[in-house]
Amino acid sequence: MLSVGISSAQTPETTPTKKVNFGYSQNPKTKAKKENESQSNQNSAEMLNTETPQTEAENNNSSNETIAQKTLDVVKKANKKALAPTESYKIGVGDILFINLQNSSKGSTYFTVLNDGTIDYPLAGEMISVSGLTTDEIEDILREKIKLYENPQVSVKVREYSSHKITVLGLVEKSGEKFIQREAVPLFVVRAEAIVQSKANRLIVRRADSKVETFDLKDETNENLLIFPSDIVEFTTSDAQTATNNQSKFYYVGGEIASAGQKDFYEGLTLTQAILASGGLKKESAKKIVIRRKNSEGLLVSTEYNLKLIKDGKVPDPVLQGGDTIEIGN
């Protein structure tokens, strides 16, 4: 109608009126069909033009996510290789983990690492072995195992450190078992925590493999000596007489005991009495006892006992000596 008005305005009044077809053919059905095809093609083109950028954007986002994930994986692997034992922590039995699944409002829960090194995480569909892994590695496993959500957002933190234990003995104000939060800690950290007495000038470290190492505390280079889980660290003095006198006043107990550390010794003290004086066993099932005692050459000699047999009266209850170290296991 707009084109008709324009034509009338531009045509002089003297011009005879003509029938104007305006492009319509004599076969309206054919024209309508062509128009429909043309409109359909135009709509298809518009749809293609509209959908193409969206598909490209989706592909770009997917590609970016893939690149970001790969980059994150590379960084994690690089960090894992480069991390020193003082900068890493591998989960162990007894640790309590806080697992937060951000996809769910009820996805935050605490999990204790069981004796077999696993946690029972329901959404994973099976028991997950976590002992010896870092929190980053556990996150990766859970992301693969959780199928309820398309892209599970999981974070794992250590709520309570209970697996990496050392025992501190000797001339300190705070003896007993200590839990460390790394695969190893420098000696100066242990000294600060235990509050070592000024007269201590000698360090004896009993490693988990039974290797015994001695160090001079006056040597400042030993401050960075690494202490590992299961190590027994004893601060003593190089004065043989003083050391003997000090040791004869105490015995030392660790392992599955309620109150570990340095305990007062008196003549005639037996193993079962020492256990009761230390608060009793953590687990009634504990039965393996190892008593370490220095010989005349100053070397430790280990003797193993079965606590159940002692309690049943089948073997004698051993009498302790001053300076004995008692380790209680399962």
Dihedral over alpha carbons 5, 10, 15, 18 (to 10 degrees):
-40
122, 140, 160 - which closes a domain: 160
Q: Inter-axis angle of helices 135-145 and 28-82, to 10 degrees?
A: 150
CA-to-CA separations, 233 to 86, 259, 265, in angstroms, rounded: 17, 17, 19
As a whole number of Å, the end-to-end CA separation of the chain is 99
Q: Is the dihedral of CA 241, 243, 245, 248 positive or negative?
A: negative
Taking a C-beta distance cutoff of 8 angstroms, is the pair 90, 98 a contact? Answer: no
Domain contains 50: no
DSSP lists the bridge partners of residue 154 as 101
Tell me 71's DSSP state.
H
Q: DSSP for 262-299, please give it.
A: EEE--TT-BHHHHHHHTT-BS-TT--EEEEEEE-TTS-
Position 8 scores a pLDDT of 40
Residue type, 188: F
Whole-number Å distance between alpha carbons of 287 and 296: 29
Shared domain check, 327 and 257 = yes
pLDDT of residue 279: 87
Q: Considering 173, 208, 239, which residue would you say is the last residue of a domain?
A: 239
Measuring CA to CA, how many Å separate 39 from each of 49, 56, 296? 15, 26, 106
Contact by Cβ (8 Å): 327, 256: no
Number of folded domains that form the chain: 3
What per-residue confidence (pLDDT) applies to 64?
Answer: 56
What was the pLDDT predicted at 132? 96
Residue 202 β-bridge partners: 216, 236
Residue 184 forms part of a structural domain? yes
Backbone angles phi, psi at 172, to 5 degrees: -135, 160
Give the distance, in angstroms, between the CA of residue 141 and the centroid of all CA atoms in the same chain. 12
| Residue 282 within a domain | yes
Given 239, 261, 281, the domain boundary residue is: 239
Domain that holds residue 289: 248-330
**What is the structure's pLDDT at 156?**
97
CATH label of the domain that carries residue 152: 3.30.1950.10
**Claim to verify: residue 217 and residue 168 sit in the same structural domain:** yes
3-state secondary structure 246-267: HHCCEEEEEECECCCEEEECCC
Residue 66 lies in a domain: no
Provide block-wise average pLDDT over 10 residues at a time, the chain (330 residues). 40 43 42 50 44 48 56 59 87 96 87 96 93 96 92 95 91 88 96 92 89 92 95 84 61 88 86 90 88 86 93 93 88
Task: Please report the pLDDT score of residue 4 as a whole number.
Answer: 39
pLDDT on residue 2: 42
CATH number at residue 277: 3.10.560.10
Domain membership flag for residue 55: no
Judgement on whether residues 255 and 309 belong to the same structural domain of the protein: yes
Of 95, 118, 112, 117, the closest CA to residue 180 belongs to 95
Q: What residues does 229 pair with on adjacent strands?
A: none
pTM of the shown model: 0.57
Tell which residue, 252, 260, 264, has the closest CA to residue 291: 252
* Residue 23 counted as domain residue: no
